[in-house]
Structure 1
Amino acid sequence: MFTGLVDALGEVIEFRRQPKSASLTIKFPYTSVVLGESIAVNGVCLTVMQARRDELSFDVSSETLAITNLGQLQVGDTVNGERALQANARLGGHWVTGHVDTITRVISLESLDEYVKLVIGPFSESQRFYLIKKGSITVDGVSLTINELSEDQIELMLVPHTIQNTCFSKIKLGQVLNIEFDYMTRTIAHQLKMMLNDAHFKKFLTQD
């Protein structure tokens, strides 16, 4: 479990592609990382397979390559990193699982003093159930607040601290972004759909 608060930036130093998977090595300024530890890389929960001082290696499955932007990484790229949440730590962002739901793109960027207004999309009709104005969303591993909703897009505001301490300092138009919808919103929406499609529950709702 993570919070969407990036705690380090990493540099991709090796990316070896195989027919249906990949091996990814990233240089992170972490200490005391153990094998099997979970690290969120651009919002994707990966397992540490090797730890050599500040170089961490991960195996990346075909599923992860297909549904996230990790498959587009190149040597020298910068990535957002976050170590797993400790039970006694403050939850400064929101609950983040590291399981990416979809990818989307940067539609527009607008500088407002030291802030950046970011519009991303498109989102499908079914995905819009998980988008709530002033609700949370994880974008490339960063916990952000949805400022505005349109038909298939959302508007976000990047504050100076976020810009300076994440990969968003290099964000550009058309860039592919990993999206994880708010865990609680997604769970509630799923359960409501299941209940509303259940004949016994429908009968209960229509009882006097």
Structure 2
Amino acid sequence: MFTGIIEEIGRIKTSDKRLEILAPEIAGDTKLGDSVAVNGVCLTVAAKEKDKLFFDVMELTLQDTMLGSLQDGAAVNLERALRSDGRFGGHFVSGHVDEAGLVQKVNANILQIKISNKTLIAVKGSVTVNGVSLTVQSVEENLFTVSLVPHTLQTTTLGSLRTGDSVNIEYDLLLRYLQNLIMTEQPKADLKRFLY
């Protein structure tokens, strides 16, 4: 489980089915088997070497996320899994990316992103873009807009996004479960009890 609060911007050293990332700030106390969100994708540390972390990436993950398009030297957002005694600053983020969205517009601190499923986006709700917890400003058709505060622009890779870039999208976990509950064939009485 993650929060969408980025700890470090890492650098891709080699990109393939084994991802090598330069991460001097978090590598020190990261252990083999730990979970790290890389641009919002939960990956397991397979090896470690001083200030580098290595991850084995499945073919399906490369196809379903934007990780497959990363080139050597690319910057990525990194967050270690939430500790039980840590401060919870963003929202519940599983690291299971729902889809790769497409940046439609970048205007100073505003990002507009095209997605395939607007039913899981709510105005003033949470969404994760490349691992960063953000608040949805508006939704229209299959587009949603988020605003980026100066701190987010400085401490994540979102400030370098351009029109046409692919981004990892994870919808709000709670909204996803609620939609799943509503779409199951539960008796209406049970649903009313849950909602009211």
TM-score bucket of the superposed structures, by smaller chain: over 0.9
Give the total of aligned pairs: 189
Gap runs ≥5 in structure 2: 192-196
**Within the alignment, does 1:24 sit opposite 2:19 as a pair?**
yes
- Aligned amino acid, residue 4 of structure 2: G
Match of 1:181 in 2: 171
Deviations, residues 122-166 of structure 1 (Å, cap 9, x unaligned): x33xx2221111000000000000001111100110111000111
Q: TM-score scaled by structure 1?
A: 0.88
Q: 1:70 aligns with which of 67, 72, 75?
A: 67
Within 2, Cα distance between the matches of 1:101 and 1:15?
Answer: 21
Which runs of at least 4 in structure 1 moved beyond 4 Å after TM superposition? 202-205
Within 1, Cα distance between the matches of 2:96 and 2:15?
Answer: 21
Are the structure 2 counterparts of residues 62 and 132 from structure 1 closer, same or farther at C-alpha, using a change threshold of 3 Å?
A: same
Q: Give the CA deviation at 1:168.
A: 1.4
Q: TM-score scaled by structure 2?
A: 0.93
Match of 1:92 in 2: 89
Q: 2:80 aligns with which of 80, 83, 94?
A: 83
Within 2, Cα distance between the matches of 1:184 and 1:137?
Answer: 11
Match of 1:3 in 2: 3
Match of 2:194 in 1: none
Q: 1:120 aligns with which of 113, 119, 124?
A: 113
Q: Give the CA deviation at 1:169.
A: 2.4
SS at match of 2:178: helix
SS at match of 1:97: coil
Within 1, Cα distance between the matches of 2:142 and 2:65?
Answer: 20
Q: Give the CA deviation at 1:202.
A: 5.0
**Within the alignment, does 1:168 sit opposite 2:176 as a pair?**
no
Contact 2:118 2:139 (C-alpha < 8 Å) held by counterparts: no
- Aligned amino acid, residue 25 of structure 1: E
Equivalences for residues 39-58 of structure 1 within 5 A: 39-58=36-55
Match of 1:109 in 2: 106
Q: Give the CA deviation at 1:72.
A: 0.4
Match of 1:19 in 2: none
Within 1, Cα distance between the matches of 2:155 and 2:190?
Answer: 51
- Aligned amino acid, residue 82 of structure 1: E
Contact 2:3 2:93 (C-alpha < 8 Å) held by counterparts: yes
Q: 2:122 aligns with which of 132, 135, 152?
A: 132
Within 1, Cα distance between the matches of 2:162 and 2:189?
Answer: 51
Larger radius of gyration: 1
Within 2, Cα distance between the matches of 1:76 and 1:202?
Answer: 53
Within 2, Cα distance between the matches of 1:158 and 1:144?
Answer: 8
